[in-house]
Structure 1
Amino acid sequence: MSLSRIINKTPLVNEKSNVYELTEINSQVINKIIQSRFISEGVFGIEQYSIDDYKEQYLFSPSFEKYPLPPYQKEWKFDLKEVMIFELILDKPNFQPLDINNFVDLFNLELHSSVFIQCLICKRTDASWRENAINSYKSYLNGNDFPLENKFTLRLQDKVLNVLTKIGNFSTKRDRIDEMESKILSDNFRFEIRILLFDDNNVDKTISELQKTLQKLTFFNEIKVKTVKNKKNMLNLIANREFQGHLVNQMLSEQEIYSLLSNNKPTTVQKVELPNPVKQQSITKSLEGSMLLQRVTQFMPRGENRNVEIDDSKAQQINQAFKRVGIVQKPLKINEIHQCSTLMKVQMVIPSNVTYSAFTKKLTDIKSALGNENISIEISDKPDTINIFLPLENRGVVYFRDILESEQFQSWCKNIPLPFIIGENVNGELMFGNLEELRHLLVTGATGSGKSVFVNLMLLCLLLNVPPNELAMYLIDPKQVEYSMFNGFPQVKKIVTDMNEANKLLESIVVEMENRYALFAKSGVKNISSYNKNNDQKIPYIIVAVDEYADLVMVNPNVEEHLVRLGQKARAAGIHLIICTQKPLADIVTSVLKSNLPSAISFRLKTSQDYLTVFGKGIPYNLLGKGDGVCKLDGQLKEYERFQSPILTLVEEDEDNIYTELKNLFKDVQLQNNELPVAETDIDKLKRIIATTGELRVSELQSQMGIAIGKVSDLLKQLVDEEWLRKEGRSYVINVSHDELVKWGSGT
């Protein structure tokens, strides 16, 4: 029994069954079975023997489920030679549903024959069936009409289909289907139905009538009547009220069971709604996530399959340009040609008598010869080769949805705590990032470069891929419009548009960082990852995104101190910074700040000096704008990686609708209350220092406060006005009680 349960995920047979005699089989009887608290622990079922107007009806259950019905010791014994045996089988995979708006009422059909019907039911509670159903459903949406249940053969089917679609240059993708998703996300019940007929003269007619009636339930799936060949084995299964091991994945939803076995659905049973996919898990990492992703991305446009045709003549034009400007006399050997949505990359072999600098010195002449000022040249990753980048005349579009749904991203992000999408590199390969490893990120780009689009999709990617109770976002938006679309996501705790409030927010986050380290020390761990593994009450990662840092620091220079402190030590506490600016001036993005931002992403900037400020040196590319970017990430093998970032939609008016629909997916999410500590004000800090140290000399207080000496004098005057201090001659004297000093000295 235990071994069969492990193999089949459900019981095959009860060690002992209770049998009860019924007066009628209806929806209320079915409801008793389905709603049993032991429905996943044993085999339940209904049996009926009928001939003309005579009926015997029974309900059976495992021994631990008892009903207030007349018990009956009923055992079935049938003569092998007298019966024809049939069973009802789903024609297609279990994720494809029947029509639940019609009802067959199987046990009350007039079949004009001596008939025995046995129905076995047990709920599937293991995760494997749903995971397999999701994979089959995804394959079906990608065009596989007959997805197999075995994951290895299913993977082979998908690979063959991908090859065929590429060869034929056509798309087979389907739109998501609510009814299939509803069945997968509902409770599903393993079922088997056996039918015995005793009248040889009416068998064909009876089966024909039965099959015709069952057609009422035909929808994406249908039920077929199948002849049982091994009658002896089936009679033993019937007598033992036992499931067949190989039909473990033949399942119906609750609604389908009512449609098949009764003539209505009882009012006590609520209609199954699609559950919210993100109550406690991220959309893409939950078990249902890979399928529920279809619900998330249905609001987003996807790109068409691009038929990439590489124009070899471009490489010949490059060789002619090199010859024309006097770098070489013979054409260079072409090593590789790659093409992405934006660029063509041509890798060429440099002759032994030509240096790389010969190309860079005459880059302007090369651009002139080719009539394109946006050509770039870089050192290749292979010896004696260079890469030449040519912008495509017709740039393609990289859609966020396509990358989010891609198998590469879904596989990569499973064990990544803070995953985000970077885009498509010059080889046409997808690029992803992990903010936890990168620590913090500097993002720059002039107006129209694609910076804001990139950062917004980075934040959206985190919202969709991190469990809601493990993420808290604080967004600082000096322009008041860049982050407005995130207002309403429960993970977005605050969107700050006032720069003085932004300073207080950063102060509070610094205090939160210190509190977390104190908690880690008390718990004997070093970082947020270790703490969350050992505690049910998880601490959320905190993401602080500043849209326009230059504007912020001009209004309130004190914010740099807080950001530097966070940059130095916040990573292990699970606090990460995303600092963005259009104007990476050296006096704004200071060396102290930049030293704590080891990873940088830049889009098109106005001057070469701006790139020098961001990266510490110039870049070998002439960026095109509109999402053409370059990144220098901590731990990246190649110094610079050029990429094209994705967009959400080309239609600006649709963007608000997409964000609104995405927020609806989170509407029922209940998050734990993790409020930031209130940052200590300057006046409170001064009271604490005085109460703790007794110090009243302005110069010493200024040193401990870390603020301008004039500000300290103003604060002392304020304490005099409050009568907390009093002035005696040129000195200050404490003017409050001992209890008041104890209160401030203890930090309360």
Structure 2
Amino acid sequence: MLNWLLQKENKITYKNTTYSIDQFDSSLLERIIKSRFASEGTFAIEQLTNEGESHLTLTTPSLEKFDFQTTDRSVEEYILEGKIYQLSLSKHYYLPLFTGVTVDILNVLEETQCDTFTQILITKSSNWREEAIVRYENYLNGIDSPIGVKVLDKIQSKLVGALGKISNTEFKRQQFEEIEQKILQNGYQMEIRIVLLDGSETELERFITNKLSKTDMFNSLELVTAEESISKHIQDMTFQPTMKQIFSEQEVCSILSNVESITVPVETMKLNESPVSANTNELLNRAIDFLPSYPRKEEKITEDTIVSLQSAFKRVKITDTDIKILSSFQGATLNRFQIEIPENVNYSNIQKNLTNLQAAMGDESVSIEIGDQPNTFNLYMPRINRDIIWLKDILQSDVFKNHLSKSELPIILGEKTSGEIELACLADLKHLLIAGATGSGKSVFLNILIIVLLLSVDPELLNVILIDPKQVEFEQYKDFPQVSNVITDPEEAVSMVESLCVEMEMRYKEFTRLKVKNIQQYNRKSNVKMPYIVTVIDEYADLMMQNKDVEDHVVRLSQKSRAAGIHVVLATQKPLSTIVTSVLKSNLPSAISFRLKTSSDYKTVFGGGVPFNLLGKGDGVAKLEGQIKEFERFQSPVITLDENEEELIYGNLLEHFKDAKKQVPVDIVEEEKPIEKLKKIIANTGETKLGVLREQMKIRMNDVTDLIKELVEEGWLEKQGKGYVVVAEENELSKWRDH
């Protein structure tokens, strides 16, 4: 048995791996809580702050692999000799905290300037929701503190009912959206332990309690002295059996991150409420009228094809008898045969012989996959004469109309190999990576994606930014009112992506002012609607080659812009590992690929090979968040095959939007550099205390320390004792002051 697999009390556990990390940020937290193995073991973040320096480690189940340097974990005896605290919910875990603020507990502990050791344990919980629902129902019935034991809760309920009759009072409460949102989210068991090694107990308790008070709502977090047995749990990185605390995703993010919401759940649509306005529906119906469509071509599956198929399986010695074909389906690109796996044959044997099957049938594009019925597999053969999927047919289908009623940013992929229409919502996918070599159908797909958004979303709520370094793809959209920017200059393109980061931060400030968490809530609450921003970047490789800084901005957007209604569609012909880097790919979990030149290109896009030989001309494969199958193959639609007709169609579309108000372009601004921001703060306030500067800068203490060192080297500051004083000349300070 593998040495990392241990058997204990009939439960499989996994050996831990410990990594040394430079910082604990929102992207790392998101990876932890979204890990496939979040419920298979415990993730631990440990921080030792000593004499102004912090050392961080991350311990994970060995199933989850990170690209950090591994290290040995040890908790020295002196660490466990300090006073130990832990954060504790004051009420039962079904009652939520306020998540509209961030605590960022690790940085809070750095700010105290006390020497501390902090341990945070997280694991996904799967057996908490039923109890939470029962307690919530009792709470709505007027029981302030449900016990959670059925018999006792019934007694409480009867007492409340009796008191209500006596006093003629209704004790029932209204439903609370905040409580229901917590119960509907994923739940995580989390414990936070803090060991004070050196410093004032009173100062530490006062400082942390003040920070935690910002999260008070139905529930609150308290800093309490831990039980004596906690030392053993810290040493072993185990949860206390007597202290089960469940936090929602938003609560975990609020407590641990400096980002208000890493993952905001899509809110349930209210009855009769649709993201599609009546005007948009009318526009879509008018557009459908002048889009072309032609009858589908039928191509009979001949007896020769069946004979060839039967012969091939015998030829490569998979089976000696005729295979049993249960059904067949003719798609636009492929013929699909559902075949019963022959007796005494494993699917893996068929899979291993795929190349031999292709050779026997004289077609390297033949592919197979596991069937959707027991003991079956699907075999795909390209059609001799491929058919066309017309955009008009999909737009006027009931499937799309139903999808449109539930999607903020609907997109169409095309027809699946089963004949069903493949649809998605960009607002749910967050962002999208699209790859495809010349002639693969990538450019046609990008145009379909843009056209569908223009036709499906109210022009008031859609701002499209198109970036095309090759200057050939998006020129036809420049006069559309929803399209605020068409950028072809690479340097301007990089500045635009940087400006979107600034726009994102401005939107989050506006959300805070209105006390909402995402663009959907904002648009319901505000009289002035905030448009979604969809940025389509074609030939991303060209941008990367000209300015590698663009990756930092794209990654930052991909990490936290979804709630702000900013979405990025990234397309490239060259999915090299130096272009689609591991950092970028980890933040773009949804990807679509059309035909690529090499198998390594597919591995770069998807993290592994695909089980198909794509045929080009719109034959694509998708790997999307929330998709049931790992890979979904589809044939993308076209608007028309006639370039002259296409020009006429765009002209007609533009005419339909003539009364729509033009979207205001996103201002291209350079984001203020951290050192510049720090100079402004010091010049205007004279403040030099690290804790105060960190609070105003909203960055890690280590980063503030590095910036302070830069200012010392520049002659701005001078270290005196344990602090710093401003020594820059008055004329230098005046440059940075607000006038």
Secondary structure at the aligned position of 1:374 is classed as coil
1:410 maps onto 2:424 in alignment: no
Map of 1:699-718 to 2, 5 A cutoff? Answer: none
**Partner AA of 2:464 in structure 1:** M
Residue in structure 2 matching 1:302, options 293, 305, 308 = 293
1:422 maps onto 2:413 in alignment: yes
The structural deviation recorded for 1:285 is 4.2
CA distance 1:404–1:553, change in 2 (3 Å): same
Q: Given that residues 484 and 664 in structure 2 are in contact (C-alpha distance below 8 angstroms), is that contact kept between their aligned partners in structure 1?
A: no
Q: Which residue of 1 aligns with 2:545?
A: 554
Secondary structure at the aligned position of 2:337 is classed as strand
1:736 maps onto 2:731 in alignment: yes
Q: Given that residues 444 and 581 in structure 1 are in contact (C-alpha distance below 8 angstroms), is that contact kept between their aligned partners in structure 2?
A: yes
Q: Which residue of 1 aligns with 2:483?
A: 492
**Partner AA of 1:332 in structure 2:** I
Q: Which residue of 1 aligns with 2:458?
A: 467
Residue in structure 2 matching 1:688, options 680, 694, 699 = 680
Moved more, 443-452 or 662-671: 662-671
CA distance 1:367–1:527, change in 2 (3 Å): same
Secondary structure at the aligned position of 1:545 is classed as strand
CA distance 1:303–1:735, change in 2 (3 Å): farther
1:358 maps onto 2:353 in alignment: no
Residue in structure 1 matching 2:381, options 369, 374, 390 = 390
CA distance in 2, matches of 1:514, 1:485: 31
1:502 maps onto 2:497 in alignment: no
Q: Which residue of 1 aligns with 2:36?
A: none
**Partner AA of 2:444 in structure 1:** V
Q: Given that residues 441 and 600 in structure 1 are in contact (C-alpha distance below 8 angstroms), is that contact kept between their aligned partners in structure 2?
A: yes
CA distance 1:287–1:312, change in 2 (3 Å): farther
1:339 maps onto 2:339 in alignment: no
Q: Which residue of 2 aligns with 1:600?
A: 591
1:640 maps onto 2:646 in alignment: no
Q: Given that residues 481 and 663 in structure 2 are in contact (C-alpha distance below 8 angstroms), is that contact kept between their aligned partners in structure 1?
A: no
The structural deviation recorded for 1:489 is 0.8
The structural deviation recorded for 1:362 is 2.0
CA distance in 1, matches of 2:554, 2:598: 26
Residue in structure 1 matching 2:362, options 371, 380, 396 = 371
Q: Given that residues 470 and 538 in structure 1 are in contact (C-alpha distance below 8 angstroms), is that contact kept between their aligned partners in structure 2?
A: yes
**How many percent identity over aligned positions?**
47
Q: Given that residues 466 and 474 in structure 2 are in contact (C-alpha distance below 8 angstroms), is that contact kept between their aligned partners in structure 1?
A: yes
The structural deviation recorded for 1:351 is 2.4
CA distance in 1, matches of 2:556, 2:518: 17
CA distance in 1, matches of 2:344, 2:548: 54
For the aligned residue pairs, the C-alpha RMSD in angstroms reads: 3.4
Q: Which residue of 2 aligns with 1:580?
A: 571
CA distance in 2, matches of 1:576, 1:355: 44
CA distance in 1, matches of 2:700, 2:405: 49
CA distance in 2, matches of 1:295, 1:491: 18
Residue in structure 2 matching 1:543, options 516, 534, 537 = 534
**1:43-100 deviation per Cα after TM superposition (whole angstroms, max 9, x unaligned):** xxxxxxxxxxxxxxxxxxxxxxxxxxxxxxxxxxxxxxxxxxxxxxxxxxxxxxxxxx
Secondary structure at the aligned position of 2:534 is classed as strand
Q: Given that residues 284 and 292 in structure 1 are in contact (C-alpha distance below 8 angstroms), is that contact kept between their aligned partners in structure 2?
A: no
CA distance 1:706–1:557, change in 2 (3 Å): farther
Q: Given that residues 367 and 373 in structure 1 are in contact (C-alpha distance below 8 angstroms), is that contact kept between their aligned partners in structure 2?
A: yes
CA distance in 2, matches of 1:520, 1:493: 23
CA distance 1:665–1:734, change in 2 (3 Å): farther
Q: Which residue of 2 aligns with 1:440?
A: 431
Q: Given that residues 532 and 539 in structure 1 are in contact (C-alpha distance below 8 angstroms), is that contact kept between their aligned partners in structure 2?
A: yes
The structural deviation recorded for 1:394 is 0.6
1:449 maps onto 2:440 in alignment: yes
CA distance 1:436–1:620, change in 2 (3 Å): same
Q: Which residue of 2 aligns with 1:654?
A: 645
**Partner AA of 2:592 in structure 1:** I
The structural deviation recorded for 1:343 is 0.5
The structural deviation recorded for 1:519 is 1.5
Secondary structure at the aligned position of 1:396 is classed as coil
Secondary structure at the aligned position of 1:654 is classed as helix
The structural deviation recorded for 1:407 is 2.4
CA distance 1:308–1:412, change in 2 (3 Å): farther
Residue in structure 2 matching 1:318, options 299, 302, 309 = 309
* Greater C-alpha radius of gyration: 1
**1:607-654 deviation per Cα after TM superposition (whole angstroms, max 9, x unaligned):** 111111111111110000000000011000011110000111111232
Map of 1:653-672 to 2, 5 A cutoff? Answer: 653-671=644-662
CA distance 1:538–1:291, change in 2 (3 Å): closer
CA distance 1:672–1:661, change in 2 (3 Å): closer
Map of 1:36-185 to 2, 5 A cutoff? Answer: none
Map of 1:219-230 to 2, 5 A cutoff? Answer: none
CA distance in 2, matches of 1:388, 1:535: 53
Secondary structure at the aligned position of 2:465 is classed as strand
The structural deviation recorded for 1:290 is 5.0
**Partner AA of 2:513 in structure 1:** K
Q: Which residue of 1 aligns with 2:613?
A: 622
Q: Given that residues 284 and 293 in structure 1 are in contact (C-alpha distance below 8 angstroms), is that contact kept between their aligned partners in structure 2?
A: no
TM-score normalized with structure 2 length: 0.56
Equivalent residue pairs, number: 448
Q: Given that residues 284 and 464 in structure 1 are in contact (C-alpha distance below 8 angstroms), is that contact kept between their aligned partners in structure 2?
A: no
Secondary structure at the aligned position of 1:346 is classed as strand
Q: Which residue of 1 aligns with 2:230?
A: none
**Partner AA of 2:624 in structure 1:** L
Gaps of 5+ in 2: 1-273, 689-693, 718-725
**1:648-688 deviation per Cα after TM superposition (whole angstroms, max 9, x unaligned):** 11112322222122111112212564744733355965753
CA distance 1:290–1:504, change in 2 (3 Å): closer
TM-score normalized with structure 1 length: 0.55
CA distance in 1, matches of 2:733, 2:533: 40
Q: Given that residues 631 and 641 in structure 1 are in contact (C-alpha distance below 8 angstroms), is that contact kept between their aligned partners in structure 2?
A: yes
CA distance in 1, matches of 2:657, 2:518: 28
Secondary structure at the aligned position of 1:589 is classed as coil
CA distance in 1, matches of 2:509, 2:656: 36
1:565 maps onto 2:556 in alignment: yes
**Partner AA of 1:358 in structure 2:** N
Q: Given that residues 683 and 734 in structure 2 are in contact (C-alpha distance below 8 angstroms), is that contact kept between their aligned partners in structure 1?
A: no
Q: Which residue of 2 aligns with 1:163?
A: none
Q: Given that residues 623 and 630 in structure 2 are in contact (C-alpha distance below 8 angstroms), is that contact kept between their aligned partners in structure 1?
A: yes
Q: Given that residues 284 and 290 in structure 1 are in contact (C-alpha distance below 8 angstroms), is that contact kept between their aligned partners in structure 2?
A: no
Residue in structure 2 matching 1:609, options 597, 600, 607 = 600
Gaps of 5+ in 1: 1-282, 726-730
Secondary structure at the aligned position of 1:338 is classed as strand
Q: Given that residues 365 and 614 in structure 2 are in contact (C-alpha distance below 8 angstroms), is that contact kept between their aligned partners in structure 1?
A: yes
Q: Given that residues 466 and 535 in structure 2 are in contact (C-alpha distance below 8 angstroms), is that contact kept between their aligned partners in structure 1?
A: yes
1:515 maps onto 2:510 in alignment: no
